Structure 1
């Protein structure tokens, strides 16, 4: 296992380099410049050139990338071109809120998807199966921003049950309950979309397992159907779903960008939108590198967990 993890880490290095090269080129070739948001009309050409040099926007593209990469290898992600704060600090301040939101959404997705997927598979072609399948398609198809606005309108504006945005209530006791109330709407919005995807995976995995010979043998021995489903079928059907979780981390990161903006959740997604709007190249590159590392680490952890859950899997 140790050798496998080491190989995966070594393989991830050229992947990260490739991702950052492509991202760096796309970001710097896009129309506009960070100077567009900060240049005073009264500045002279010499002043503008001086600011451009201060932001590191002079020189050929490859030289700027190598300079950025060199700083990264020394643990320096650079400074924001708008707030002039260290990029590592900006990202560090927002990691926890985003991870809390993603974790809550993933939990909600599994809580909805596992029972619905199992029931849908065991009662194939029933009304429950059709309702579950239709619901999962709706969960996948409805845009996150639209669902978020609908939830804000219903639960915040009309029913006044939950706050419409933010992470805490200003001027009040910001304890666990207050933070939980702020978390519910964005987590449910992101979780519903996640559940729509997971229901289909759980259902298809269960259907495949239910047709296996060992389940017929279990039934022929007189075991109760509940034991056959819960102890034998579900334990094997959940294994492929575990591997999908690594892929869903990417979906959650992408969904968090939109969800955090709608609910003004102070996480990585909101910082990403702000960096795009202000053309903050340095912060964007730091965010891309951070997202890539999260996805690689998440998939590595999923593989390790899979080998622990299923003793048949061995990585050499």
Structure 2
């Protein structure tokens, strides 16, 4: 396993740099100019050209990338074009809230999806199965931003049960309970969306496993149905479920951009929108870098979880 992990890390290096090259090219091919977003439109062209020269925007693309890559190797991501703050500080301040929101949402989604999918598969074609399947379609069909706005109006404005935005109450020290109250609504919206998509995958995987001969043998030995379902069937059904959950990570990071805007959650979603609107290339490159690291790390963790879920899976150095 250690050799396999080392090999995957070595393979991730060229993949990682390939992602940075593609991101850099796509950002510079997009219309718009960072200087036009920073300076008054009436500013003389000579001043605009001077600003571009100071920011290095007049250099060839390959030279701009080499400068950025050199800074990365020194542990630096440059400075934001809009705020002139170090990109590492900007991302460091925002990555924590986003990971908190994404992790909580994923946990909520799986806590709902796995038991619901198992029950739906065990009681195939029953009323419970139809109800669970219908609710899963409903959770998938409702746009997250629409559900979020609906909950803000109903729970936050009408009932005054929960705060409608931000990560903490303004003017007060951010305590654990205060953060948890602000987290409930955005995490619930993303969690419902994840659960709606994952219930059907869990159900399909369980239905496939429940038809295997070894489960009939386990029942013939006198094992209780709960043991057969939860210990033998569910663990063998985890492989495709782990794969689907792994693919949810980048989608979750992308989806959190919209939810963070709706709930004013101070994560990288808001930072991404601000960087896009201001054509802040260094910040966008830093955000792409962070997202690439998260996705590559997630893929490695998924491969390790495969071996945990099914001991028959082994990894060699070949």
Partner of residue 169, structure 1: 169
Partner of residue 159, structure 1: 159
Partner of residue 293, structure 1: 293
Measured in 1, the distance between the counterparts of 2:219 and 2:297 equals 41
Structure 1 vs Structure 2 CA RMSD: 1.4
Q: 2:236–2:309: 8 Å Cα contact kept in structure 1?
A: no
TM-score (norm 2): 0.95
Deviates further, 295-304 or 241-250: 241-250
Partner of residue 144, structure 2: 144
2:197 counterpart of 1:214: no
Once the two structures are superposed, what CA deviation does each residue of 1:60-109 show, in whole Å capped at 9, x if it has no partner? 22221222122212211110000000101100011111111011001100
Measured in 1, the distance between the counterparts of 2:59 and 2:175 equals 50
Once the two structures are superposed, what CA deviation does each residue of 1:272-301 show, in whole Å capped at 9, x if it has no partner? 011111111110011011101100001101
Measured in 1, the distance between the counterparts of 2:147 and 2:100 equals 20
Displacement over 4 Å in runs of 4+: none
The 5 A counterparts of 1:109-258 are: 109-258=109-258
Deviation, structure 1 residue 141: 2.3
Measured in 2, the distance between the counterparts of 1:180 and 1:48 equals 46
Measured in 1, the distance between the counterparts of 2:310 and 2:41 equals 65
Partner of residue 93, structure 2: 93
Q: 2:16–2:292: 8 Å Cα contact kept in structure 1?
A: yes
Deviation, structure 1 residue 126: 1.4
Unaligned runs of 5+ residues in structure 1 are none
Measured in 2, the distance between the counterparts of 1:44 and 1:237 equals 65
Measured in 2, the distance between the counterparts of 1:45 and 1:249 equals 44
Deviates further, 167-176 or 283-292: 167-176
Deviation, structure 1 residue 306: 2.4
The 5 A counterparts of 1:27-46 are: 27-46=27-46
SS of the residue aligned with 2:198?
A: helix
Measured in 2, the distance between the counterparts of 1:42 and 1:291 equals 37
Deviation, structure 1 residue 42: 4.7
Unaligned runs of 5+ residues in structure 2 are none
Q: 2:219–2:225: 8 Å Cα contact kept in structure 1?
A: yes
Alpha-carbon spacing, 1:240–1:72, altered in 2? closer, same or farther (3 Å): same
Q: What is the number of equivalent residue pairs in this alignment?
A: 316
Deviation, structure 1 residue 194: 0.8
